[in-house]
Amino acid sequence: MTAGTRTPAAADADVTVRRRGAPRARPRLRRLGPWLYLAPLLVFIGVFKVWPLIWGVYLSFFHVRPYLGDEYVGTDNYSKLFSDPDLRSAVVHTLLDALIAVSGSIFVGFWLAVLLQGPARHVRILRTAVFLPTVIAMVAAAELWTTLLYPSRYGAVNSLLGHAGLGPEPFFSSPHSSLASVIAMQIWKHAPYDMVIFVAGLASVDREMYEACQIDGASWWQRLRYVTLPSLRPITTIVLVLGVIRGLRVFTDIWVATNGGPAGSSESVVTYLYRQFSQDNDTGYASAIGTSLLAVTVVLTALMLMWRRRGET
């Protein structure tokens, strides 16, 4: 047999090797496939979310001077946070807004879920109608409320109050009622969203526990207190985390309805940040405010998640 001649056994061995080696590339392609699908979204998040965040943290250590070159100031922008009375006032307004609006939307959303749970057709129709404020853009909702709460006696709400011998109330136009009016608008806007989450949570509660309570003669309030509320603790934590994040970064509703006024009575941290950036041209200080707000939001979210895990163990 010549050197160039191959035996049938050697040929079969080559075919076997090729068959074994060919599929090796397929698992790599399968692992790479999902990332290829996610690549456009990851690029979008990186360009429009992650990079601006990193750049904002970087600018917080500079006095930004367009066309003149940025001047490094270290932590001066962060030191200014503690000596700015306008920022302290905005922080107080933001905390009040977040505390009352989030608590109110959770409370209203929970009771709406209790009243509107169930698979009946008329209940689904009512849930859809109640959910409508959530799908309205915040700009449109704020414009709607400023029209309804027009401060003269010709406003829709003041006209009704006039028929009852009350008003007219200033609502958004008074330093004493502007923040309360904004909070009422936020509860109206966000409570239906919380309702939907609570409805999903109520549907997951074990019905056998309700039947056992009914056999034991438990009242409606006892079933709610000892079965429903403990079962909804994880859902409540999720709603609370989402509400706190929403409350700390409130901007559109205040900016459209009151522009932070009158006399700064409804100024929030984010509206004050935007004012520092767009009107006072202090980009470095605005970046320091945004970075601090991000840090506070992350810490509060982590604490609430830790509280949830501790409650589950």
pLDDT tens digits for range 23-34: 555 676 677 778
Token pair recorded at residue 300: 């509060």
Q: How confident is the model at residue 14 (pLDDT cuts 50, 70, 90)?
A: low
Tell me what percent of the chain is helix, strand and coil, each rounded to the nearest 5.
75, 0, 25
d(CA 51, CA 73): 22
d(CA 302, CA 299): 5
Residue pLDDT, tens place only, 97-107? 999 999 999 99
In the prediction, which pLDDT does 161 show?
87
Provide the percentage of residues in the chain whose pLDDT is more than 70.
Answer: 90
Token pair recorded at residue 178: 């502007």
**Which of 45-49, 143-147, 235-239, 309-313 is predicted with the least confidence, judged by mean pLDDT?**
309-313
Q: How confident is the model at residue 227 (pLDDT cuts 50, 70, 90)?
A: confident
Q: Using the predicted structure, report yes or no on whether residue 54 has a pLDDT greater than 90.
A: yes
The residues, ordered by sequence, that sit 6+ positions from 191 with a Cβ below 8 Å of its Cβ are: 104, 105, 108, 109, 112
The DSSP secondary structure of 81-103, one letter per residue, reads HTT-HHHHHHHHHHHHHHHHHHH
Token pair recorded at residue 46: 């990186």
User: How many angstroms separate the Cα of 189 from the Cα of each of 106, 130, 238?
Assistant: 12, 10, 18
Helix, coil or strand: residue 259: coil
What is the pLDDT averaged over residues 37-47? Answer: 91
In the prediction, which pLDDT does 78 show?
92
The yes/no answer on whether domain 83-312 falls in CATH 1.10.10.10 is no
The span from the first CA to the last CA of the chain, in angstroms, equals: 76
Residue pLDDT, tens place only, 142-185? 999 999 998 888 888 888 888 888 878 889 988 988 999 999 99
Q: Using the predicted structure, report yes or no on whether residue 95 has a pLDDT greater than 70.
A: yes
In the prediction, which pLDDT does 272 show?
93
* CB count in 10 Å sphere of residue 271: 23
Residue pLDDT, tens place only, 117-137? 877 788 888 888 999 999 999
CA atoms within 13 A on the CB side of 27: 4
Residue pLDDT, tens place only, 252-276? 999 999 998 888 899 999 999 999 9
What is the pLDDT averaged over residues 69-89? Answer: 90
Token pair recorded at residue 95: 């905390």
